[in-house]
């Protein structure tokens, strides 16, 4: 089922969202100071291509540097990527088949706004009963 959802996701949302993340990552890597955000953007772009079967978890307690970095990210690119998730989720919610895809889009908004301090792992590698952020 995961593979089928991922294929449908890739066609209707994943490719477009990943391209947005990759563009943000390229821009951040060109501006040398923002390379950590660029790397995070590429990581989330890969997750946006194929999200089913993977989860986002907190890697460590968020410190002040992570908080400041996430605030800068929201201002520079995060808000635009979150708007992209909302815009692509609306037409998905219209059809019954698209509801899980629309919900996956909504679940990606928190990581698109605050990517630092997060890690993407396979759902199978999580401990039973644990759900990511």
pLDDT of 44-95, one tens digit each? 999 888 888 888 888 876 688 888 888 888 988 889 889 988 998 898 899 8
Query: Does the residue 131 lie in any domain?
Result: no
> 10-54 pLDDT, tens per residue?
888 888 889 989 999 999 899 888 888 889 899 899 988 888 888
Q: SS3 helix, strand, coil % of the chain, rounded to 5?
A: 70, 10, 20
- Domain coverage including residue 14: 1-125
Task: Give the model's pLDDT for residue 26.
Answer: 94
- 133 occurs within a structural domain: no
Residue 132 lies in a domain: no
Residue 63 in domain: yes
Kindly provide the residue ranges of all beta strands, DSSP E only, lying in 7-88, ordered along the sequence: 54-58
Residue 95, in any domain of the structure: yes
Has residue 130 been placed in a domain?
Answer: no
Q: Report how far residue 75's alpha carbon sits from residue 90's, in angstroms, rounded to the nearest whole number.
A: 23
CA angle 86, 60, 79 (to 5 degrees): 20
Number of domains in the chain: 1
Task: Specify the 3-state DSSP secondary structure of 118.
Answer: strand
């Amino acid at each position: 089922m995961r593979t089928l959802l991922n294929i449908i996701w890739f066609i209707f949302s994943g490719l477009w969202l990943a391209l947005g993340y990759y563009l943000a990552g390229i821009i951040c890597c060109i501006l040398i100071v923002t390379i950590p955000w660029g790397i995070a953007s590429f990581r989330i772009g890969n997750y946006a291509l194929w999200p089913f079967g993977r989860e986002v978890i907190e890697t460590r307690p968020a410190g002040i540097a992570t908080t400041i970095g996430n605030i800068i990210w929201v201002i520079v690119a995060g808000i635009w990527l979150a708007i992209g998730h909302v815009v692509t989720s609306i037409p998905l919610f219209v059809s019954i088949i698209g509801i899980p895809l629309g919900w996956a889009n909504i679940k990606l908004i928190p990581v698109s706004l605050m990517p630092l301090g997060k890690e993407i792992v396979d759902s199978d590698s999580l401990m039973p009963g644990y759900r990511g952020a």
